[in-house]
Amino acid sequence: MGRLAFLVGRRVGSLMLTLVAVSALIFLVMDVLPGDPAAAMLGTSASEETLAALRHAMGLDLPLIVRYGRWIGGFLSGDLGTSLTYGVPVAGLIAERLAVTLPLAVLAMTLSVALALPLGVVAATRKGGLADRLATLFAQLSVAVPGFWVGLLLIAGLAVGLGLMPAGGFPGWNAGVCAALKALVLPTVALALPQAGVLTRVTRAAVLEVMDEDFVRTARAKGLTRRAALWHHVVPNALPPVITIAGLQFTFLIAGAVLIENVFALPGLGRLAFQALSQRDILVIGDVVLLLAALTIAVNFLIDLGYLVLDPRLRAATS
Amino acid sequence: MSASRHGSLIAGSVITGALVAVAVVSRLWTPGSPTRLAIADKLKAPLVHGLLGTDQLGRDVLSLLMVGAWNSLSIAVVAVALGAALGVALGLTAAARGGLVEALVMRAADVVFAVPPILSAMLLGAFLGTGPRTAVTAIATFMVPVFARLSVGAGRRVLARDFCLAARAAGKGQLAVTMQHVLPNIAPQIAVQVALQLGLAFLTEAGLSFLGFGLPPPAASWGRMLADAETYLGVAPWLAIAPGAAIALAVLGFNLIGDGLVDLLDPRER
């Protein structure tokens, strides 16, 4: 257990370093972004003295490192500053948008796993057969097709064409769970499809690899049916690589969400960052990008940690 | 089995070859003008006016598509070339030096990898302005850690082999061993990754120009054609079909080449 604690400690240390580096990088970029927040607030007619006074009041004249410290300190205590364009605390703004992006990401991840696991397992067990060919074709196509294009086609077909689904926008969770979920159906499909393609391929490869293992042969030799061996021995052992890739894909899921939210006019984090950019609301951009990056790092860290706890072989291997 | 193995590579090469051919031809000839506005002929359906119809400004969609192929291809190729060159250089340095250098490179790779290209493009876009520079920088930045990670692992495995130790023992410097022995041995893996990343670069470029971070108008770009098509989805839904299909086909071509190369280089792979 001491060894595990040491390894976990080392990973936590490296997680912290990564977070500090990412946030410093984002802060530096924010700092060199053109546009003076004080000038943006006061407009073009403000005198030089008023500008200087406001800059001082906002702490913009402090050294870079102090401003970085304040930003991170605020971030950790939940105070993300005040948005220039919305005039409200960024924390509240982000929480509001997270209520759209997070369910969208979770739904899309769930749908893609629900599609990919059975497809991948079926493809692997019928390797070379028709089912395998179809699953591989599905995977190849869904990886290549841009999610935002799928979104456009879904809108053209199901929303504009047949009028079955809302073409975009979000009624809010207050409008009822059904209405809100209905607005998320098409975006979820568009976001999940490329992920499903990637995960189908990974599942297929992982299942094929485990099927070759000695313990599966032993299980079969002991008289287990093909089906029992598959579900009790092959699939559980094929899951770790699938989970890893699903975690790594989280970066792409977030990137996809930015696009999909813009296609469907969903008031999520991606759209918030995009709108903030066009309004030069630098603080909002920085906060959102840091939050999404931290989320990505955290997901990968948890997967890494989960491995370490679940698989004793890794503890020996990383010595 | 062997036929289907080469099948991916052949199919991918055919698709990619066609893409490159269209891109090159667009420099010399297009069926109509991709820039001349003809408002009177706007939003004409396919075959009514040109093979694929006209857009909201009366421009020939097929011509726009052809020019867009050149634009997307050049952004993707430049971005991947930059990312691969820098990433492989960093990765091999890390593999050769080990220790602190390796730790730094790997940590830096984690940092960059945590910010998806769409987000870094947003940060960069406000700084560099929208345009090909932003798109190339954002995509290349994301490619660097991909190639760095690949070449650290692969490079270390090659360095541990006897022939590298022998070369070192014979008095060759670290740089010479890396260039003469390590790089040629990891080149196949890099080639596979280049093909796959070109596909990803195409997708990202399309996404960026869809959001308005790509080439500025009037330059043709598949992503922006889709963004324009969204506005006219109700009156001219066909505008949304060709550019998306073009992106998907281009990405499919690169991915098939990548898969074909994997199968070709590693016979144990399925």
Indicate yes or no: CB of B119 within 8 angstroms of CB of A205: no
Share of chain B above pLDDT 70, in %: 94
List of residues 6+ apart from B59 with CB closer than 8 A: B32, B33, B34, B35, B36, B37, B38
**Other CB atoms within 10 A of residue A31 CB:** 12
**Confidence grade of residue A267 (pLDDT, cut at 50, 70, 90):** very high
Residue A293 pLDDT exceeds 80: yes
Q: Which two tokens stand for residue B143?
A: 């490619």
Identify the pLDDT of residue B34.
74
pLDDT > 50? residue A72? yes
At residue A302, what are phi and psi to the nearest 5 degrees?
A: -65, -40
Shortest distance between the Cα of B230 and any Cα of chain A, in A, equals 7
Radius of gyration of chain B (CA): 22
HEC sequence for A153-170 = HHHHHHHHHCCCCCCCCC
Chain segment A161-180, per-residue pLDDT in tens: 787 778 778 888 888 888 88
Two tokens at B236? 């001219």
What's phi and psi for A310, nearest 5 deg? -80, -35
Contact call for residues A24 and A68 (beta carbons, < 8 A): yes
Q: Which residue, among B87, B79, B77, has the nearest Cα to B120 in the 3D structure?
A: B79
Q: If DSSP codes are grouped into helix, strand and coil, which group holds residue B159?
A: helix
Task: Calculate mean pLDDT across residues A11-36.
Answer: 82
- Mean pLDDT calculated for residue range B144-158: 91
Q: How far, in Å, CA of A258 to CA of A40, rounded?
A: 26
Q: Do A22 and B114 touch (CB under 8 A)?
A: yes
Cβ B240–A254 below 8 Å, yes or no? no
pLDDT in the model for residue A276: 84
The Cα–Cα gap between A6 and A10 comes to: 6
The pLDDT tens digits for A75-93 are 888 888 888 777 888 888 8
Token pair listed for B233:
């989805």
Whether residue A251 contacts residue A173, with contact meaning beta carbons closer than 8 Å, is answered with no
Of B238 and B136, the structure prediction assigns the larger pLDDT to B136
Structure tokens at A217: 């042969």
Closest Cα to residue A292, out of B109, B123, B83, B130? B123
- Measure A163 CA to nearest chain B CA, in Å: 12
> Could you tell me the end-to-end alpha-carbon distance of chain B, in angstroms, rounded to an integer?
9
For A297-309, the pLDDT digits (tens) are 888 788 878 777 7
Does the pLDDT at position B264 exceed 60? Answer: yes
Q: Is the ipTM of this complex over 0.90?
A: no
Q: What is the pLDDT of residue A148?
A: 93
Asked if the Cβ–Cβ distance from B123 to A149 is below 8 Å, we say: no
Interchain CB distance below 8 Å, B237 and A293: no
Q: What gap in Å lies between CA B232 and CA B189, rounded to an integer?
A: 44
- DSSP reduced 3-state for B60: strand
Distance of alpha carbon A245 from alpha carbon A76, whole angstroms: 29
Query: Are residues B118 and B208 in contact, defined by beta-carbon separation less than 8 angstroms?
Result: yes
Interface contact flag, B111 A22, Cβ < 8 Å = yes
Query: For residue A142, what pLDDT is reported?
Result: 92
Taking the C-alpha atoms of residue A264 and residue B29, their distance in angstroms, rounded to an integer, is 37
Please classify residue A225 by burial: count the beta carbons closer than 10 Å to its beta carbon, then call 0-12 exposed, 13-18 middle and 19+ buried: exposed
Whether A16 has its CB under 8 Å from any CB of chain B: the answer is: no
What 3-state class would DSSP assign to B129?
A: coil
Of A117-126, A211-220, A225-234, B103-112, the range with the highest mean pLDDT is A117-126
- Inter-residue contact B67 to B36 (CB < 8 Å): no
| Ramachandran quadrant class, B54 (left: phi over 0; alpha: psi -120 to 50; beta: rest) | beta
**Helices then strands, each counted (H, E), chain A:** 15, 0
A161: number of CA atoms within 13 Å, CB side?
10
Closest B-chain CA to A247: B114
Question: Could you tell me if A14 lies within 8 Å of chain B, comparing CB atoms?
Answer: yes
What is the C-alpha separation between B1 and B222, in angstroms, rounded? 36
Chain A, 158-197: which have a CB under 8 Å from a chain B CB? 160-161
Predicted local confidence at residue B267, as pLDDT:
58
The residue of B115, B142, B196 whose CB has the most chain A CBs within 10 angstroms, and thus the best one to mutate to test that interface, is B115
Integer-rounded Cα radius of gyration of chain A: 24
The Cα A285–Cα A265 span in angstroms is 18
| DSSP assignment of A8-37 | HHHHHHHHHHHHHHHHHHHHHHHHHSS--H
User: What average pLDDT score do residues B49-60 get?
Assistant: 75
Tell whether the model's pLDDT for residue B30 goes beyond 50. yes
Measured between beta carbons, the chain A residues lying within 8 angstroms of B243 are 149
CA distance A19 to A299: 13
Quick check: A148 contacting B, CB < 8 Å?
A: yes
Which residue of A lies nearest to B244 if distances are taken between CA atoms?
A: A149
Residue of B nearest to A262 (CA): B211
Give the closest of A156, A208, A277 to B122, CB-based. A277
A280 interaction partners in chain B (CB closer than 8 Å) = 126
Q: How far is A150 from chain B (nearest CA, A)?
A: 8
Which residues touch B111 (CB under 8 Å, ≥6 apart)? A18, A21, A22, A25
* B-contacting residues in A 71-110 (Cβ below 8 Å): none
pLDDT number for residue B123: 75
pLDDT at residue B140, as a whole number: 93
- pLDDT of A10 > 80? The answer is yes
Which residue of B1, B122, B197, B252 is the best one to mutate when testing the A interface, meaning the one whose CB has the most A CBs within 10 A? B122
Indicate whether B7 pLDDT > 80: yes
E strands in chain A:
none
If pLDDT is split at 50, 70 and 90, which confidence band does A261 have?
Answer: very high
User: Helix A177-211 vs helix A250-263: angle between axes, to the nearest 10 degrees?
Assistant: 150
* pLDDT over 90 percentage in chain A: 24
Give the SS3 label for residue A81: coil
At A319, is the pLDDT very low, low, confident or very high (cuts 50, 70, 90)?
very low
Handedness of CA A154, A156, A159, A161 (dihedral sign): negative
Q: What distance in Å separates the CA atoms of residue B212 and residue A38, rounded to the nearest whole number?
A: 27
Interface residue of A18, A32, A132, A148 to substitute, partner B, most B CBs within 10 Å: A148
- CB under 8 Å to B168, separation ≥6 — which residues? B174, B177
Residues 6+ apart with CB under 8 A from B215: B71, B75, B131, B132, B135, B209, B221, B224
Question: What is the CB neighbour count within 10 angstroms for residue B27?
Answer: 10
Predicted structure pTM score = 0.87
CB atoms A262 and B207 under 8 Å: no
| Residue-wise pLDDT tens digits, A34-66 | 666 677 667 767 777 887 887 777 777 778 888
Any residues with CB less than 8 A from the CB of B28 and at least 6 apart, and which? none
Q: What is the pLDDT of residues A136-166, one digit of tens each?
A: 999 999 999 999 999 999 998 888 778 777 8
Distance separating alpha carbons of residues B82 and B80, to the nearest angstrom: 5
Per residue in A206-251, pLDDT tens?
A: 999 888 888 888 888 888 888 888 888 888 888 888 888 888 787 7
